[in-house]
Structure formats: structure tokens, C-alpha cells
Chains A and B, each alone.
Chain A
Amino acid sequence: MSIAQQLGTKHLLGIKDLSAADIQLIFETADSFKEVINRPIKKVPSLRDITIVNLFFEDSTRTRISFELAEKRLSADVLNFSASSSSVKKGETLLDTVNNILAMKVDMVVMRHPAAGAPHFLARHINASIINAGDGTHEHPTQALLDAYSIREKTGDLQGKKVAIFGDILHSRVALSNIFCLKKLGAEVTVCGPPTLIPRHIQELGVQVSYDLRKTLLWCDVANILRIQMERQDIRYFPSLREYALHFGINKTLLDSLDRPIIIMHPGPINRGVEITSDVADSEHSIILQQVENGVAIRMAVLYLLAAQLPQA
């Protein structure tokens, strides 16, 4: 597979807009940044003349810290914004908020928003480079990139690898971005969960659907386990968390009964004892903390490659 010299897009709105060559370029660049963040001094001056605002209209721990760290490791100036302590509460529109921030000469915007398409809307109306850090139940591109990168690191090329995504597929932006990313890299994907939490027509994306946890675990090389997103569930999709854990929770006994070990992933936050038990999350086959480390390298790569596309200084 050929590697691009520069990204084909000015923004990172979703994996859908990236080519396989773009993704490979991000991975190759992340390899270099991973070496940087393991040095005694983990910082390079590349983005020293760039200002980045992190606009978080929705709560986040991992993603916000990971982006902030990536920005700081690249020597960018960083502004943090969270909706709960801002004029959004006073009724300001998204476009006004962002335009006011950009008037202060900000070059890049990292945004998380509860509405799907919010970063796409911004991209149409402003000049700064936009990185989607999660928009509603739509996409979470950097999570998918770091997931695929973590699999690549563990198993090599993704071509032909069997990846299963378990849990709340319906409300998950991680699932959708992962599906786009894995398919573009040539992996086979199965989604598995209760029928009520699997979107209709998801097969159109080229994935298989399964409602049988054990069968899917036997099939896959990698299990990416998602959280039940209670905050997005307006109706009851299953009788109780206890019943969910009983039918779709992944535990050690179940994994021990398989014919070979599989790689365990989780984008966090983990609900221990619901979708995954502690002994699985902390087991030797779990790469959950590597995912977090790789997140910083991937975000550095994305910021670096997008900053290269900004108008010349």
C-alpha cells in the first residue's frame, strides 16, 4: 500500500474522508512521535507558532487530556474551553462562539460536540483547521486511528485481521469510525451486541452482524469492547445492566474457554463488571493502556500533518 506525502484533507472530520494512504501516513508519522514521547525530553518545537483551541461541548477526560498533551508535546499554544463554564450557557450560537475565538488568531480547533455534524458545519463556515474529537453518535476519528494503530503495533498489518466490536453499536461514534478505518485497512469486521443496540442496515457498511457473544469471540483476533452509553439512551434497550452483563459481558472464564488468546481493547471509560470484568481488563492480553499511550502519538501525528496544510507563515 502506498503512503501519501501529505494528507488529502484540510480537516479531520471523520475517517470516512480519509484514504488508506492517508491513514498509513498518519501511522508512519505516529511511529516517529511515539519515539519522541519515550525520550527523556518528550517535546519537539514543530508547532511553536501555532495556537490550538480545545472546544469541549461534552464531558471528556481521556480525549481532552490526550489532545492537550499532544499539543503541548508539539510546543503549540493551547486554549481550553468547556461549555459548562462559557457563554454558551448565555445563549451564544456555536458559530458565534467559534468566530469570537478565531478572532483572537487561533489556527486549529479541536472540537467535541453532542450534535452529529457540528464539526462539518464549522468546517464550511470558518478557515481554521478542524479536528473532530467526537460528534454525537457519528464519528470519533482519532479514537479509531489509535485503535487501528494499536492493533497494527500488536499484530502487524491489518489486512485480513478479524476484529469484533462488542456492545452499544447504536450510540457509539467509536464503532462507526472504527468500522470505516478497519475496512479501509482491509480488516474484517463483525459487530456484536443485543439486537436493540445494533443499528438497522449496518451491513451496508460491509460488516457482519452477530448476536452471539461466544461465537463472535471464537471468530475474532481482536475484541474491541464498548461501553453502554446510558447518557444517550432515551428509552430502555435492554431490561437491566445485570442482564446485559450476563449475556454480553466478557469475563475470564469465557476467554479461557476459547481455543486461543485474543487481543482485548476498550476505548474507555470502562464500566467494570458490566461489559468487561476486571480480570479481563487487566489481563496480559489487554492493550487498553497501550491504546491510551498510542492516543498521544496518533494525535501528535494528526496535528502535525494538518498544521503542515495551514497557510504558509
Chain B
Amino acid sequence: MSDERVILTRERFALTMERLCRQLIETYDGFEDTCMIGVQPRGIYLANRIHQRLLQMTGLPQLKYGQLDITFYRDDFRRRDKPLAPSATQMDFIVEDKNVVLIDDVLYTGRTIQAALTALNHYGRPRSVELLVLVDRRFNRHLPVQADFVGITIDALDEAYVRVEWQETHGEDCILLFADKPAAG
């Protein structure tokens, strides 16, 4: 992989996370009839953090939180070299008449979110769905999908690759930009 550039350092990363949580509190207030759903596999690191931080900040005993795997809903099945390995879905509630905050790390083509919306339909008819992403690559969309809460907006070429690194997996929170995509795996 080519040279990497840090576009969000640990300190700025923490500030951004804090801002996203405060925006959610501002919008959803007491979080009644509201649930957070992280998109597997990478969206759940962000969703876990936000879920934990919101519990601390609001002092609420619990917040409805699920993890949704969208592998079987993707529109690129048989269009990739290898099938994608599914991750676990953990949804112990239905979203009927709930406000859903869908959480993913990077919004790129919009296809993942389209698949997530299809998958979400199988858990009922939500009252509303809003999208929270840490990174919005706004010039690379294939579908008319926009995020409602954005950590950082990045204007990058289509060939570029954005990776969010987490303390849990990489030892430090940061966002990196690579000039080229990694080899297909």
C-alpha cells in the first residue's frame, strides 16, 4: 500500500466523537423510541463508542442498541472475486415506529447504506432513519444517500482509500488516507 496521510489525529478524533454525541443528544433528547444500530463489520466500533459515551453523558440506564450485518443484502454478490464473510447480527428488538440512528464509519458509494436500509426493513417499519458517519467521502457517491451527522468530510479521488483506526484494533484512534486502495481481499 502507498504512503499514508493522517487526516484526523487522536486529539481531533476525540473532539469529533464528542461533538457527534452532543449532536445526537440535541436531536433526540431523552432517546425515547430511539435506537442506535451499528453496521457490521466496521461500523460497530464507532457505534460501540457512541453507545457507551451516550450512556455516560445522559446517565440513562440503557439505550436500545443493535448490530446489523448486511452481507446477505449487498447488491454486489457474485460481482466480487470472493464471497464476503458474514458477521453476527445482534438485534434483540424490532424497529417498528422507532427513530433509528444508523451508524457506519465511512460513507463512500452509499451502497452499504442502501443494503442496511433493506436489512432494516426486515425488523419493522421505522418512524425515521438518520445516518451518522465518521467520514463522509462526499464526491464518490453512486446513490442518492446523505448523512445527517458527519464527523469529517473528505474530498478524495476515487482511487484513494480511507481507513478509520481504533484504539481497540490498532492501538490508537485516527483516520488515515491512502493514495491507492488495498489489493482486493
Contacts and interface: CB of A to CB of B under 8 A. Distances in A.
Is B truly associated with A? yes
Interface of A: 5-6, 28-29, 31-32, 35-36, 39-41, 43-47, 49, 74, 304-305, 307-308, 310, 312-313
A46 B79 contact: no
B79 A312 contact: yes
Contacts of B77: 46-47, 307-308
24 contacts: A5-B83, A6-B82, A31-B88, A32-B72, A32-B86, A32-B89, A36-B89, A39-B122, A40-B94, A40-B124, A43-B122, A44-B72, A46-B72, A46-B73, A46-B77, A47-B77, A49-B78, A74-B72, A304-B72, A308-B77, A308-B82, A310-B78, A312-B78, A312-B79
Contacts, number: 56
Q: Lowest 8 A-B CB distances belong to which pairs?
A: A308-B83, A44-B72, A32-B86, A41-B122, A46-B72, A6-B82, A5-B82, A313-B78
B90 to A, nearest CB: 9
A24 to B, nearest CB: 12
Nearest to A45: B73
Contacts of A45: 72-73, 118
Nearest to A73: B72
Contacts of A313: 78-79
B85 A28 contact: yes
Contacts of A41: 121-123
Contacts of A312: 78-79
A312 B79 CA distance: 5
Nearest to A5: B82
Interface in B152-167: none
Q: How many interface residues does chain B have, given as a range?
A: 20 to 34
B79 A29 contact: no
B65 to A, nearest CB: 17
Contacts of A28: 85
B69 A32 contact: yes
A32 B82 contact: no
B123 A44 contact: no
Contacts of A46: 72-73, 77
Contact of A307 (B71, B78, B122): B78
Interface string B117-153: 0100111100000000000000000000000000000
Interface in B68-117: 69, 71-73, 77-79, 82-83, 85-89, 94
Contact of B72 (A6, A36, A305): A36
A304 B122 contact: no
Nearest to A301: B86
Given A32-B71, A43-B122, A6 B83 contact: yes
Given A304-B72, A313-B78, 19 more contacts: A6-B82, A31-B88, A32-B87, A32-B88, A35-B89, A40-B94, A41-B123, A44-B72, A45-B72, A45-B118, A46-B72, A46-B77, A47-B77, A74-B72, A304-B83, A307-B77, A308-B83, A312-B79, A313-B79
